[in-house]
Chains A and B, each alone.
Chain A
């Protein structure tokens, strides 16, 4: 059945608002960002001469200021991504399964509890966790001392600073992954589990052979969104550790924003942002390939 002209027009109209917003708020900024990255865009100067790829070349020139700024930041960000993404997925799925196993009256209540932090602003999150983590006056350390333990330098020691940032991130953002997983779990057909029970499958094998394969597309979605969110980490170290101890937790976005708005080198900072976006795209594609394999993807 061929679509009629009328239905084509009406379906295009439905897509139009999104297309316009996409063009205005995504496509144009990305293209303009790329345009800026090819210029010496010093924010206060009246002239912004075209410099070709030299902003990119500076980033890859060993021992340049831009090189140090970018790669030191990138290394900090990657460390965070490596630890946070698996935990965001595993903990998100675990909480979703726990909440789903609750009696239906409690389910809504706990779903809300776990989701509330996701709605908080970064500054509220920071105030709460600065009070929790404080080395000498914080909640966690006073509990530890009551139990006879040693205080832990939550935000001022390594690896504790990373542990704290990941705890904070999990608390702050896990609600989103949980909601997605709950919906995915609800879509697994009951008959699969029934059939498996009849065959005498354990809960663990039901999880491995039924639940996981069925929710695989959602798993990929969560993996990719979590990776992107983790790459964009900024507020947690900016407000809690201030990049410390030393500059261990000075992540890439802190450096890029400093470069753009304190040093006012927007051109060079845009080049850093573009490279960062390319890295995210490549990692997402790799994750996709690994999940679906080469043939099915095409």
Chain B
């Protein structure tokens, strides 16, 4: 028994160490991963320099259906000239910033050019991880005037420019054309009165068909800010969170009202609204441009339109944007010139990217006949009033409490005002530092 006992003690220690390793050792695993990857790219780097081409390393998070579209652009760039060779690396979407942080920290094997979401740029800039691109853009002949203003303004910090926008992905409205026809609705709703009337007509509880199924989780991260801004509210007032204002609460009550009226079922789970949309039982959903290919594949008869103005103050829509940014550590003039050359190429050859369902941020592209022929050109109508996440350090963790409490309010667990006040109290803690 004694011997058995001591073996068991060893066993326990082993097993608990494994557990500790899993939780505590997370960071190191990623360090190991990316350094080994970095080494690989470095060795291929030297190979390529021998051939006389300047090698550039380009990182992106396009691990979804959008990856091949960007790869096409890079491939045709590489084929179009023989001075530079762009290596295109796709990192898994969910791990992207984790990998990027570690690579930037290691500094010697980090990428020369990265895709960065617009709302991440201020954070990385404030930590001294990005370099201003004004000179590079001027040398390559890239002008701010060629892009939609909103992302350019956002990426201009202290008068310097930090990101060239590739696309803008605002919240958009998808609607089921068959259900619209059945309900006798001929024009797409553009304001609250039209929207409220349309969703009531579209709802047929006998057939389990709903006008607008209210999501209680994702993509509320896009919907809620859109509604708050439209109603004249703010998420951030300059030094504190402001999403518990009457304007914001009114919008939550409006969404909850749709559930109470039976226009939406209650207790919608993650992706529940999308499942019903795919089954033809949800007539309208607000979601991102990236959903389009899924609906195409499902063979739905659907339309795309800008989100109607539900709030009473002004048109507004929440969006994200993929940008090209250059890490601070890239100083080699040859490499910088190559990046400029590539970006110039992309600015006039990004139609491949639009094929993925995205709407582009380059004005010459937006105005081209080829782009106007695509269904997502309707999205570009909202670019004059698109807004991005508040430009605040740590906004993702400051805003995190919103989604849990909004979930509570939409599920009917808490009154809207109380839910937002509770969330604001939690956000204060997150600002604390």
Contact = CB atoms under 8 A, between A and B. Distances in A.
A221 interface: yes
Interface string B1-44: 10011001101100111111111111111000000000000000
Given A134-B275, A241-B270, A245-B408, A43 B101 contact: yes
A244 B407 contact: yes
A298 B4 CA distance: 10
A136 B20 CA distance: 40
A247 interface: yes
A125 to B, nearest CB: 14
Contacts of B266: 135, 153
Given A156-B411, A242-B218, A276 B27 contact: no
A257 B265 CA distance: 33
Given A30-B21, A258-B397, A276-B23, A244 B101 contact: no
A135 B8 contact: no
A4 interface: no
Given A217-B8, A288-B12, A297-B5, A46 B17 contact: no
Contacts of B98: 261
A89 interface: no
Contact of B433 (A65, A220, A245, A262): A65
Contact of A29 (B9, B29, B213): B29
B216 A244 contact: yes
Interface residues of B, number: 68
B335 interface: no
B27 A30 contact: no
B54 interface: no
Interface stretch (A49-57, A95-103, A110-118, A266-274): A266-274
Contacts of B433: 65
Nearest to B328: A46
B103 to A, nearest CB: 11
A261 B407 CA distance: 23
Contact of B26 (A43, A228, A260, A281): A260
A231 B430 contact: no
B8 A220 contact: yes
A215 to B, nearest CB: 13
Interface in A10-32: 25-26, 28-30, 32
Interface string A223-258: 011001001100000001111111100100100111
A154 interface: yes
Contact of A281 (B20, B27, B403): B20
Contacts, number: 189
Contacts of B28: 28-29, 32-33
Interface string B105-140: 100000000000000000110011100000000000
Contact of B267 (A135, A285, A296, A297): A135
Given A242-B270, A284-B15, A247 B404 contact: yes
A162 interface: no
A241 B266 CA distance: 15
A26 B405 CA distance: 38
A245 B269 CA distance: 9
A36 interface: yes
A296 B19 contact: no
A220 to B, nearest CB: 7
A291 B432 CA distance: 45
Contacts of B26: 33, 257, 260, 273
Contacts of A44: 101, 104-105, 123-124, 127, 129
15 contacts: A25-B25, A32-B28, A44-B129, A45-B127, A64-B432, A135-B267, A137-B272, A137-B276, A228-B18, A246-B411, A247-B404, A258-B400, A281-B16, A285-B12, A296-B1
Given A241-B270, A288-B12, 5 more contacts: A65-B429, A137-B281, A243-B404, A244-B270, A288-B8
Interface of B: 1, 4-5, 8-9, 11-12, 15-29, 97-98, 101-102, 104-105, 123-124, 127-129, 208, 213, 216-218, 265-272, 275-276, 279, 281, 394, 396-397, 400-401, 403-405, 407-408, 411, 413-414, 426, 429-430, 432-433
Interface of A: 25-26, 28-30, 32-34, 36, 42-46, 63-65, 68, 130-131, 133-137, 151, 153-157, 217, 220-221, 224-225, 228, 231-232, 240-247, 250, 253, 256-264, 266, 270, 273-274, 276-277, 280-281, 284-285, 288, 292, 296-298
Query: Nearest 8 CB-CB pairs, A to B?
Result: A29-B25, A33-B24, A277-B20, A153-B267, A44-B127, A247-B404, A246-B408, A273-B23
